[in-house]
Structure 1
C-alpha cells in the first residue's frame, strides 16, 4: 500500500510528464512552422513518449489502489530563438525531469517503498537516454554552425525517427 506522500509525489510527476508532452508538442509545432519537418517529427515523437511516461505512472497508481489526481497542465512556451535554443531548452527540461525522478527515488527510499523504487529505476534509465539524445542533437548543431546544408541533413536524419510505444508494465 502506497503512503500518501508517495501518492502525492507520483501524481505531481504525472503532471510533469504531461507538461513535458505539451512542451515537446509545442516545439514540434515551432519546428514545423520554420520548415524543419524532421525536427518537428522528432519532437512529436518525444511528446508521445512523454505521454507514455505519464500513463505508466497513472497505471501504477491505479494498480496500487491509489487515487489518480490529474492537475492543470500549464501552458508551454510557443516560440524560441532558433533551433539551438529550442534543443537547449529541451535538454534543460530533461535535466529538470531527471531531478524530479531523483526526488521521487529519495521519497521511495525514505518510505522504504521498494515497489515504487523498482518502478523508478526504469525512469532513471530513461532519463539517461533522454538527456543523451538531446545533448547529441545539440552537439551536432554546434558542429554544423551556420551551415544550412548540414542543418538540412540533420533535419532529414531526425525525420527517420519512428514512435515505438512502451508498455506500461515494462
Structure 2
C-alpha cells in the first residue's frame, strides 16, 4: 500500500512539473515591451484640440492611461499620420522622464501641466536612450510625429483640450447640465 502511494505521489509531482514547464513556455510567448510588437490603442472618439495663437488644431489620439500602456507607448511604431498622436495620462502631476529606445519614429513630446497648458516641447530621436524631460512636474504628455507641433503652430503656453485632461482631478468642472465649458484659464 505504501509503495502505491509513493508511485501516485511521484506521478503527481511529474505531472505538476510538466504543467509548470508548459505554463512557463506559454507565458514566455506573451508579448512584452521587449517584443517587436506595436501596441495600438483604440482611437478616442473625441479629438484633442490644441488652442494656438493661429487657431485651433485637432488631433486624433490614443489615450495611454495605465502603467502598461504608458510603458509601451509608441514603441515599435514606424509611422503615424500627422494629425494623430498618443496622450499619456498620469495619476498626478509629477516629474516624468521618457526615452526613445525601441521607437524607430522621431517624435515631438509635448509636456502638459494639470491645467492643460503646454510646459515644454522636446524632440525625441529614434532608438535613443537619452532621457527626455521637461524639468518640471507635468500631468500629461502628448506624442506626435516629429515636426507636427511646429507645423501646427503648437507652442509652449498653448492650451490642450480633451475630456481626459478636463476631467483630471484638480480641474474645476461646470455644474451638471450648465452647458458651460470647464473652468480652465486659457491665458
TM-score by length of 1: 0.25
For the pair shown, the structure with the greater C-alpha radius of gyration is 2
Query: Going by fraction, where is helix more abundant, 1 or 2?
Result: 1
Which structure carries more relative contact order (alpha carbon 8 Å, separation 6+)? Answer: 1
TM-score by length of 2: 0.24
